[in-house]
Amino acid sequence: MRTTNASHRNWSGSVRWTPAEVLLPTSEDEVLAALHRARRTGRTVRVVGGGHSFSALVATDGMLLSLDSYQGLVRADTGTGLVTLRGGTRLWEIADLLAPHDLALAVMGDIDRQSIAGAIQTGTHGTGARFTGFAGMVRALRLALPDGSVVDTSPVQDPDLFEAARLGLGTLGVILEVTLACVPAYRLDLVESTQDLESTVGAFLADSSIADHHEFFWFPRTDRATVRTSRRVPQDTPRRRAPRPVEFLQSEVLGNGAWDLMCRGAAVAPRLSRPAAELASRLFAGPRVVDDSASVFTAPRRVRFQETEWAIPAARFAEAFTALRARFEDEGVEVTFPLEVRRVAADDVWMSTAYGRDTVYIAAHRHHREEAGPYLLMVQRTVESFGARPHWGKQHWLGASELSALYPRFEDFRAVRALADPDGVLMTPYLHHLLG
């Protein structure tokens, strides 16, 4: 087990911290030894995955545990689709691990840099009205509890612990293994287009109910939306990609390089923001692609940003979006990053942002060189009155009193958490603020 005590930051640079020590266990026994050592030294423990959360979930001055040396496939069953992965496995590795078994993840978000345990612990999701987020795909968990015991949990084995730990913000135990319901491998046929905003918003619930995966981006105060719609097609459908120079231009130059330059320019001279957003809203749509699901769902995100994201009951989406639009006009908002709007099926994961309701997510971003707080807070204040729940891994300013009103199983979660970690070994001031 390697140890270091370097200082850390999350992907966006919004949270920085220096743990007393960082441990990289390579086996289950070494995870248990790390927990034993924390008990002996009286240190609190946080587990880090890919460090891609925008909120301060991982920050600690105690022991930081990274499962980067505890990755890989434990087993896969092509017949049932059940796949067990070690907690530290990164999402980008999963497609290759599952390919020999003709399986794939049912859906993915925008990037693949996260660990599987980190993705489920914050309710990471993609888009698709028939699909849940990652936590909804979990069928069993193997956990190391702070007292040093190892438990296997599932809907029939310690079900309360399972329900709480499926999305537990890393406060129930260290996730050693995750068993996911996967699906036969498939390709996606992706079409992107630039559309009129009014009609895109008006048709969003209907369009996203029909399409397999449907979402749109909107640069604030422009009149158009970039719409992305993907159809699931058989794995043997011929690949189709734009010629390499066109892909390079779209993804690396327009999608990352030139866009970053434009955002940096606007950070120094804010009056450039509106023309930049206008231009980007016309160029954002890329060429049609047919390829393996993982490579179509995800793309590199090299332009760093801060983000807030809100889960809104689908029936209230149009009202919430209209309120945001009006607010941006009133405030004369000038930003170079789009809102992203996605749809996800209801699930039954206690702390899931989609618990018990068909959900539309609205995410707002701001370039990392700009001051993000006031804009992201404005978004929060505008959508709060629509019953919106904040993404656990993104920035927001809610605490336990507001969150408990948004989650019917909040108290159940707290009770199970207290049994699993009676001494608060996995807690920090930020987590006390969230969970009470």
Tokens representing 213 are: 């995966």
- Report, in Å, the least distance between residue 147 CB and ligand FAD: 15
Query: Is the Cβ of residue 169 or residue 182 nearer to ligand FAD in the bound state?
Result: 169
Query: Is the Cβ of residue 274 or residue 375 nearer to ligand FAD in the bound state?
Result: 375
- Report, in Å, the least distance between residue 236 CB and ligand FAD: 28
Query: Is the Cβ of residue 200 or residue 428 nearer to ligand FAD in the bound state?
Result: 428
Query: Is the Cβ of residue 67 or residue 364 nearer to ligand FAD in the bound state?
Result: 67
Tracing tokens 């794939």 back to the chain, one arrives at 104
- Report, in Å, the least distance between residue 47 CB and ligand FAD: 4
- Report, in Å, the least distance between residue 43 CB and ligand FAD: 15
Query: Is the Cβ of residue 175 or residue 416 nearer to ligand FAD in the bound state?
Result: 175
Residues forming contacts to ligand FAD in the complex (CB under 6 A) are 11, 46-53, 57-58, 67, 87, 109-111, 114-115, 117-119, 121-122, 124-125, 169-170, 174-175, 301, 391, 393
* Whole-angstrom distance, CA of residue 7 vs CA of residue 23: 13
- Report, in Å, the least distance between residue 307 CB and ligand FAD: 7
C-beta atoms surrounding 265 within 10 Å: 15
What residue ranges in 56-125 does DSSP mark as E strands? 63-66, 73-76, 82-86, 103-104
- Report, in Å, the least distance between residue 329 CB and ligand FAD: 27
* Whole-angstrom distance, CA of residue 354 vs CA of residue 316: 14
Query: Is the Cβ of residue 25 or residue 274 nearer to ligand FAD in the bound state?
Result: 25
Tracing tokens 């310690």 back to the chain, one arrives at 158
- Report, in Å, the least distance between residue 262 CB and ligand FAD: 18
- Report, in Å, the least distance between residue 361 CB and ligand FAD: 8
Strands 45-48 and 289-292: unpaired
Distances (CA, A) of 11 to 74, 175, 223, 407: 28, 22, 31, 28
**Taking the mean position of all CA atoms in its chain, how far away is CA 171?**
17
* Whole-angstrom distance, CA of residue 370 vs CA of residue 263: 9
Region at 51 (left for phi over 0; alpha for psi -120 to 50; beta for the rest): left
Query: Is the Cβ of residue 116 or residue 274 nearer to ligand FAD in the bound state?
Result: 116
Query: Is the Cβ of residue 14 or residue 274 nearer to ligand FAD in the bound state?
Result: 14
Task: Please answer whether residues 32 and 148 qualify as being in contact, where contact means their C-beta atoms are separated by less than 8 angstroms.
Answer: yes
- Report, in Å, the least distance between residue 297 CB and ligand FAD: 9
For ligand FAD, which residue has the nearest CB? 118
Tracing tokens 């980007």 back to the chain, one arrives at 280
**Taking the mean position of all CA atoms in its chain, how far away is CA 75?**
25
Which letter does DSSP use for residue 103 in this model? E
- Report, in Å, the least distance between residue 254 CB and ligand FAD: 17
* Whole-angstrom distance, CA of residue 243 vs CA of residue 137: 35
* Whole-angstrom distance, CA of residue 218 vs CA of residue 339: 5
Task: Please answer whether residues 165 and 173 qualify as being in contact, where contact means their C-beta atoms are separated by less than 8 angstroms.
Answer: yes
Query: Is the Cβ of residue 121 or residue 226 nearer to ligand FAD in the bound state?
Result: 121
Among candidate residues 239, 385, 372, 230, the one with its CA nearest the CA of residue 308: 372
Query: Is the Cβ of residue 220 or residue 393 nearer to ligand FAD in the bound state?
Result: 393
User: Does the CA dihedral 247-251-255-256 come out positive or negative?
Assistant: negative
